[in-house]
Amino acid sequence: MRTLRFIAGVVTGFLCVMLASGLLTEVLVAAVARAGPVLRAAGVLYLLWLTYTVLRPERATHRSSEAGSRFLDGFLLQFVNIKVILFGMTMYATLLVPWTTTWPAILVSALILASLSFCSTSLWALLGAAIQRFIAVPRVKLVYSLVLAALLLYAAWSVAFS
């Protein structure tokens, strides 16, 4: 039940960020035609930072089983989650800009994206629980980290040079 409350918070927060991203992007695209390259550069820098965090030595962390399981935790997390913000800005600035020129269109697109967020967050929770023990094996974790870092570098390269 705690996981469902958290997922509900994530999806609701995601919906709010998508609405804000859609509206803000519409204003930015209308006001400044150069928003795309800035967002692209920010995305590349973030992907490189993620690559660094995947490869750096792990620090010991202690978390309570109750940590992060409330609706409010999931909701507020979306407003500081740079991945969600960049995702929303990128979606609206590059893919959805021709179709999201009105409030109803932005609302519908944000609802669709929030539905996809529910699916992906639920899958993340299910798979995370399933592979938690497997990924704890040091050799598996090393291979996983190297593959993830390579994929992040490829994504950064693709964003930078597409």
Domain that holds residue 113: 2-160
Distance in angstroms (rounded) separating the CA atoms of residues 126 and 84: 20
Distance in angstroms (rounded) separating the CA atoms of residues 75 and 118: 13
The domain tally of the chain equals 1
Query: Can you give the pTM of this predicted structure?
Result: 0.52
- Going residue by residue through the chain, which has 162 residues, state the pLDDT in tens, using 9 for 90 and above: 888 899 999 999 989 988 998 888 778 777 666 667 887 898 899 999 999 999 987 765 555 555 557 888 888 888 888 888 888 888 888 888 777 778 888 888 889 999 999 999 999 899 988 888 888 888 998 999 999 999 999 999 999 998
Distance in angstroms (rounded) separating the CA atoms of residues 73 and 85: 17
Q: How many CB atoms lie within 10 A of CB 96?
A: 23
> Tokens at residue 110, please?
């944000």
